Amino acid sequence: MKSFKNIFLLSLIIDLISFLPIFLVYNGGEMRDMMIESMGIEGLGQSIEGMAVMDTMAFGFGFIGAGYIASLVYALRLKDLSALKAAAFILGIVHLAWTLPDFVNFATGSTGHPPLAFMILSLVPIAGLFYVSQNGEIKSY
């Protein structure tokens, strides 16, 4: 699995799955209530200011997710090996920077992290992107 296209597509699919809850939280409903409950902050659901902060956070994170997805879609169009390796490395760093706080929260016992399954799933694009940034090959189809 040294193909850039395969890793970029895999990362794109996992990112879509990972960012879906953020889009659902922004639209309100049960997903939003579940996220607020999992934070363990008492009274947050009843606070107008707190909910405004939650909405702003979900809105901003949604755009970050859209940026990740757009970057991966653009990277799929690259043809030059050095450009593909550079794009994979930069995308790997960005994915690592996005995921690292969740693992720090998990390690310190904080509740401010996603479910463990999502955290493990988020490691797949990071490992794949760093791998192809060093060993990737251009495959012609």
How confident is the model over 89-136, as pLDDT tens digits? 999 999 999 999 989 989 998 877 778 888 899 999 999 999 999 998
| pTM as predicted | 0.81
113/119 Cα distance (integer angstroms): 8
How confident is the model over 87-100, as pLDDT tens digits? 999 999 999 999 99
With cut-offs at 50, 70 and 90, classify the pLDDT of residue 83: very high
Helix (H, G, I), strand (E, B) or coil at 47: coil
Evaluate whether 10 touches 125 at the Cβ level (below 8 Å): yes
Structural domain spans, the chain: 4-135
Quote the percentage of the chain above a pLDDT of 90. Answer: 48
